[in-house]
């Protein structure tokens, strides 16, 4: 009986049919919200790029040209993320048994590389302008375009970060941070234009170098988010919440190992719970079912849990807890 308990209760829990439908609907809703965010971001940054491009043609500002190209590139990061969201909707296959949610993590890598390229391009342009100063005309129009670039990027950044955190997409958060770096670049153009207007030709490239440092700080933050997802990192508070929910479940005597991972913007969990060795297999099964229900209600965006009911404490349990 004990041996059967130990090996026979690894149970992939399935919620009741209406709850399963709710979870599918929630997953599609989050993907749809992500897609809507990308389309709106693309529209805002596309309009900003067009306005700035017109001013570039008028003024001949190389700094503004760099900012315009930067904004255009940021708008185009919607493409890999959009592809990732669409792939994430595909059903699992016998080869990709967990589905295609990891495509978001790959998109996040592309975005981090784009931020790194932006930092390199900004630094190169700044050094080039220090070595080869250029005259800029129509400074008022350049300043207005720089403000438009900052406003557009900051609006998009806040929107992407908010939606990304709500639906659990690290890639969308990283994309929002990237938009924020582009806003900093726009401010550099504004500061440089002010310096040129005051007669200081080196103002623009020097501010550009400061902005490069700011971009590198944001790059580190975005890279940490994406790296964490690639390494299956989760917020320890989620593990604490899962353990509390399991301990509060009737029939659970103790909680062993709890593993959680993000697949795209959805969570999966694998948990060990200790049950009374004297109970029947059916009773242990009911404890596992109740444990899964407790996890579903306690953890947002959890779509599946594998619960292992063990009649004896796992020998590594105390080592894992301490």
Count the neighbouring beta carbons within 10 Å of the beta carbon of residue 65.
18
Q: What is the pLDDT of residue 314?
A: 56
Q: Which part of the chain is CATH 3.30.70.1350?
A: 234-321
Rg (CA), the chain: 26
Fold (CATH) for 18-230: Alpha-lytic protease prodomain-like (1.20.1510)
Least confident of 123-137, 161-175, 294-308: 123-137
pLDDT given for residue 66 in this prediction: 75
What's residue 295's pLDDT? 96
> What would the 3-class secondary structure string for the chain be?
CHHHHHHHCEEECCCCHHHHHHHHHHHHHHHHHHHHHHHHHHHHHHHHHHHHHHHHHHHCCHHHHHHHHHHHHHHHCHHHHHHHHHHHCCCCCCCCCCCCCCHHHHHHHHHHHHHHHHHHHHHHHHHHHHHCCCCCCCHHHHHHHHHHHHHHHHHHHHHHHHHHHHHCCHHHHHHHHHHHHHHHHHHHHHHHHHHHHCCCCCHHHHHHHHHHHHHHHHHHHHHHHHHHHHCCCCCHHHHHHHHHHHHCCCCCCEEEEEEEEEECCEEEEEEEEECCCCCCHHHHHHHHHHHHHHHHHHCCCEEEEEEEEECCCCCCHHHHHC
In terms of phi and psi (left: phi > 0; alpha: psi -120 to 50; beta: otherwise), the region of 60 is left
Q: Which two tokens stand for residue 100?
A: 């295609």
Q: At what angle do helices 281-298 and 236-247 cross, to 10 degrees?
A: 140
Q: What average pLDDT does range 99-124 have in this prediction?
A: 87
* CB of 257 closer than 8 Å to CB of 207: no
Q: How many CB atoms lie within 10 A of CB 15?
A: 17
Per the model's pLDDT, the better-predicted residue between 291 and 86 turns out to be 291
Quickly state the pLDDT bin for 182 (edges 50, 70, 90). Answer: confident
Chain segment 39-92, per-residue pLDDT in tens: 899 999 999 999 999 998 888 777 788 788 778 877 877 888 888 888 888 899
Contact predicate 169/265, CB 8 Å: yes
Give yes or no for residue 27 having a pLDDT over 60: no
Assess whether pLDDT exceeds 60 at residue 24.
no
- Candidates 303, 207, 313, 196; CA nearest to 254 is 313
Scanning the structure block, which residue is given the tokens 């994406």? Answer: 226
pLDDT for the residue 29: 60
- The model's confidence at residue 5, banded by pLDDT at 50, 70 and 90, is very low
Q: What is the pLDDT of residue 166?
A: 87
Q: For the chain, what is the mean pLDDT?
A: 82
Given a contact cutoff of 8 angstroms between Cβ atoms, the answer to whether 129 and 204 are in contact is yes
pLDDT digits (tens, 9 = 90+) for 230-276: 999 999 999 999 999 999 999 999 999 999 999 987 899 999 999 99
Domain with CATH 1.20.1510.10 in the chain: 18-230
C-alpha–C-alpha distance, residues 85 and 94, integer Å: 20
Most confident of 118-122, 246-250, 313-317: 246-250
pLDDT recorded at residue 2: 42
The pTM score is: 0.73
Choose from 53-57, 119-123, 280-284 the range with maximum mean pLDDT: 280-284
Burial 146-159 (b: 16+ CB within 10 A, else e): bebbbebbbbbbeb
Is the pLDDT score of 148 beyond 90?
A: yes
- Residue range 186-217, pLDDT digits in tens: 888 888 888 878 888 777 677 778 778 877 88
C-alpha 139/C-alpha 203 separation (Å) is: 14
Q: Tell whether the model's pLDDT for residue 320 goes beyond 70.
A: no
Which class in CATH covers the domain with range 234-321?
Answer: alpha beta
Model confidence at 20, in pLDDT bands (50, 70, 90)?
very low
Predicted confidence at residue 203, as pLDDT, reads: 76
pLDDT at 4 over 60: no
Task: Output the six-digit token pair for 97.
Answer: 């048994």
């Amino acid at each position: 009986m004990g041996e059967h308990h130990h090996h026979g209760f690894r149970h992939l829990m399935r919620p009741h049919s209406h709850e399963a439908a709710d979870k599918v609907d929630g997953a599609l809703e989050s993907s749809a919200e992500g897609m809507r965010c990308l389309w709106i971001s693309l529209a805002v940054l596309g309009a900003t790029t067009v306005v700035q491009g017109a001013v570039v043609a008028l003024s001949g500002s190389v700094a503004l040209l760099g900012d315009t190209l930067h904004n255009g590139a940021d708008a185009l990061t919607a493409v890999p993320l959009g592809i990732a969201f669409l792939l994430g909707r595909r059903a699992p296959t016998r080869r990709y048994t967990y589905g295609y949610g990891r495509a978001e993590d790959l998109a996040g890598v592309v975005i981090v590389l784009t931020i790194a390229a932006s930092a390199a391009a900004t630094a190169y342009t700044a050094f080039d302008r220090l070595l080869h100063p250029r005259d800029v005309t129509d400074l008022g129009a350049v300043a207005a375009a720089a403000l438009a670039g900052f406003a557009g990027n900051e609006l998009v950044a806040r929107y992407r970060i908010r939606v990304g955190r709500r639906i659990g997409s690290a890639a969308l958060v990283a994309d929002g941070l990237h938009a924020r770096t582009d806003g900093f670049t726009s401010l550099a153009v504004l500061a440089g234009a002010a310096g040129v207007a005051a007669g200081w030709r080196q103002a623009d490239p020097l501010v550009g170098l400061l902005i490069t440092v700011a971009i590198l700080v944001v790059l580190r933050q975005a890279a940490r988010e994406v790296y964490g997802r690639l390494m299956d990192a989760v917020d320890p508070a989620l593990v604490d919440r899962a353990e509390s929910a399991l301990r509060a479940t009737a029939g659970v005597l103790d909680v062993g190992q709890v593993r959680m991972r993000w697949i795209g913007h959805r969570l999966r969990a694998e948990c060990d719970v200790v049950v009374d060795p004297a109970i029947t297999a059916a009773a242990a099964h009911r404890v596992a079912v109740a444990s899964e229900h407790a996890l579903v209600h306690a953890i947002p965006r959890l779509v599946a849990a594998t619960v292992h009911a063990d009649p004896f404490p796992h020998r590594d349990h105390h080592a894992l807890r301490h």
